[in-house]
Chain A
Amino acid sequence: MAIWIEEDAKVLVQGITGKQGMFHADKMVEYGTQIVGGCTPGKGGQTVDLQGKAYPVWHSMTEAITATDADATVIYVPPPFAAEAIMEAADAFDSIKGEGVIVCITEGIPTLDMVKAVAYVENRPGVRLIGPNCPGIITPGAAGGAKIGIMPGHIHAKGRIGIVSKSGTLTYEAVAQTMSIDEGQSTCVGIGGDPVNGTGFIECLAAFENDPQTEAIIMIGEIGGNAEQEAAAWAAENVTKPIVGFVAGATAPPGKRMGHAGAIISGGKGTAEEKFEAFRQAGIACAMDPSELGKVLLESLKTAGLR
């Protein structure tokens, strides 16, 4: 077990004929992800060569899912068209299978487009959206596994730590930290750094809590909004597994956007200090430096009798 994405999940790639889509589709196949084809409107019937093998391309997600019975799709479509790609996938998954996971990697989607897309997805309760503006989701396998996104696959190994994060490279940092204490990962989810996104911290924590493979959790937040505070309060009531946390942006000045569209302290709210405090209140073990996540995790595992 892992969360949402099993090791052998069948995955489609939207925007597979584009430069980014093709590059990452190739990397996913190399890692061992079961890619079953892709979708680019207007290019149906063509094939794309990944790791020396031809993969089919469909015009529409309805065609692609009908033909492949895919479990998930990953979107590398440019910002002006990405929200529609999400809605197309949501509609197709919902009407054909009643469920499916949509992972949107695209950075820079207009916020009001996402407001519409998120509302559209929420009207289809079997469909889950992860992202946008995120590294994706990975469930490492004993050999290979399902890497759906842009993360470097080779740094991961199958294990019992669940990771959820708003940031890409900081997630890789957390993965490396688990490896430094000889722990692998159950599933790593990048929820993205945009103000309006799909899956949030609480849904990830709930899934990790219910997943028998996951025995401890790393949660990485950043400045802006109050998703971390709400997740911490929820975890205090509902999560029994040890959680280790970090929040980026303690030194960020107020009112300035720090790279991610959502990473901004506005009206004195959404500071790292506030979030760390919420973590501590909830009994989450905090690392003040991401290079210490491994150490703090090891302590938490020992306290819980897991090491």
Chain B
Amino acid sequence: MLLRAAGVPVLEGVHCTTVGEALNAYDSLGSKVVAVKSQIHAGGRGKGTVFNPETKDVVMEGGVKIAFSKDEVNTYATNILGNLLVTIQTGDEGKIVNNLYIEAGCDIAHEYYLALLVDRDTKSVLIMASTEGGMDIEEVAEHTPELIHKVVVDANIGILGFQKRDLGMALGLSGAALKSFGKMLSSMYTMFCAEDCAMVEINPLVRTGADEMVALDAKISFDENAEFRHKNWDDLRDISEEEDTEIRAKETGLSYVKLDGNIGCLVNGAGLAMATMDVIKLYGGEPANFLDVGGGANEEQVKTAFSIILEDPNVKGILVNIFGGIMRCDIIARGVIAATEALSLQVPLVVRLAGTNVDEGKAILAASTLNIHPADDLAEGAQKIVALIGGGQ
């Protein structure tokens, strides 16, 4: 959709959510051969496996299928829609496929790989291309790195003609195909910047029999920091694929990631929040979440943070770890007390406070009649909460 709008050649295709729509799409495309593609926000779909979400039985190998007739479209669409697709990128739990893309076939002369991404090492936009299209690029990078060609774009100049030619020639392109490739790179780089992408991956990129370069499949990710200048992103978002609590946390200015353990964590600062999880694990426990309340959280945010942690039925205890900088420990202490009262907290709670106004904060907690266990440092806090929930089980 974005690629087409940016002027990158793509195959004709139709987005569908039902088998009926898929069959109509086959008719309207007028191509005998079509690809039936699962649309989820993860790669490796072609080599994935489709499971029945209830019985966990294998329905079909491959989340992207080539159909040579309307009957085959019917079979593949029925097998995929509403079922679970597990790929190397989804993890074992997989993702339910609610969307399909039916795409017209094309005459493929060769498949390539092309990606644009922000590279941390060069602090620039990097363009990577390979003749090994359709393959898992990480494997190519590991075993045959010489087959991956790169150019680094100077942010204040943009992509230059020789860079496009060098990259195209490295792929063995010439004539009309080289020209088509160069035009495509310009369009993609413009789109990459205009849309604040983090990565655009075209795999495969194909050269047709007529020497035209066409993007067959694409994966685009965006830079979340740039959301404020892209109102259109809301339309691209498939909310059903995101954790509901993670979205709600974000709306209240909290950063939350759900994990599989049973000790909830409430921490200020991303690094300290990760370290808190690590130390819980080090002392035999399992963290239930990552939660960063940020640098300037107020009482209300602390309360929201608690309610989000407690929504996870696995949570058997909570560790609060605050190193007050901008945030004052007395404010956190009051927030913790208000939240535990309002939510009538049933699980054990360990609170470790340090930094600005720590003595006032500790005094407030000590004066409360609530069952709050204080800790002086992170190790003590982690050991206490692990012991209180009865060890690491």
Contact = CB atoms under 8 A, between A and B. Distances in A.
Given A152-B356, A193-B271, A248 B325 contact: no
Interface residues of A, number: 65
A155 B354 CA distance: 10
B325 A258 contact: no
B155 A116 contact: yes
A111 interface: yes
Given A80-B228, A227-B120, A246 B275 contact: yes
A228 to B, nearest CB: 12
Given A110-B196, A119-B155, A289-B279, A226 B121 contact: yes
A113 B123 CA distance: 11
Interface in B277-305: 277-282, 287, 290, 292, 295
A196 interface: yes
A248 B279 CA distance: 10
Interface of B is mostly: mixed
A267 B137 CA distance: 10
Interface string A228-272: 000000000000000000101111110111111111000110001
A21 to B, nearest CB: 13
Contact of A220 (B123, B255, B271): B271
A283 interface: no
Contacts of A115: 118, 123-125, 155
Contact of B120 (A116, A152, A196, A288): A196
A150 interface: yes
B237 to A, nearest CB: 16
B371 interface: no
A210 interface: no
A80 B229 contact: yes
Interface in B340-375: 354-356
Contacts of A142: none
B109 interface: no
Nearest to A288: B282
Interface stretch (A38-46, A58-66, A165-173): A165-173
Interface in B80-111: 89, 91
Q: Which of B228, B270, B292, B379 has the most CB of A within 10 A?
A: B270
Interface string A100-122: 00000000111111111011100
Nearest to B259: A253
Interface string A151-171: 110110000000001111111
Given A115-B125, A290-B275, A150 B270 contact: no
B355 A248 contact: no
B259 A169 contact: no
Given A167-B270, A291-B379, A249 B118 contact: no
Nearest to B325: A152
Given A111-B198, A115-B155, A259-B292, A272 B278 contact: yes
B274 A263 contact: yes
Interface string B123-137: 111000000000000
B278 A248 contact: yes
A166 B272 CA distance: 11
A176 B259 contact: no
A148 interface: no
B120 A173 contact: no
A7 interface: no
B89 A255 contact: yes
Contacts of A169: 267-269, 271-272, 323, 325
A121 B373 CA distance: 49
A252 B226 contact: no
B295 A289 contact: no
A223 interface: yes
Contacts of A246: 275
A253 B226 contact: no
B225 A111 contact: yes
Contacts of B335: none
A176 B321 CA distance: 14
A119 B157 CA distance: 10
15 contacts: A111-B225, A112-B125, A135-B325, A152-B355, A173-B354, A176-B354, A249-B274, A250-B278, A251-B277, A251-B278, A251-B280, A253-B259, A255-B89, A259-B274, A260-B270
Interface of B: 89, 91, 118, 120-121, 123-125, 138, 154-156, 193, 196, 198, 223-226, 228-229, 255, 257, 259, 267-275, 277-282, 287, 290, 292, 295, 323-326, 354-356, 377-380
Given A251-B277, A258-B270, A258-B290, 7 more contacts: A111-B118, A172-B354, A253-B257, A255-B89, A263-B274, A268-B138, A288-B278
Shortest Cβ-Cβ A-B pairs, 7 listed: A167-B271, A259-B270, A169-B269, A170-B271, A110-B226, A248-B274, A169-B272
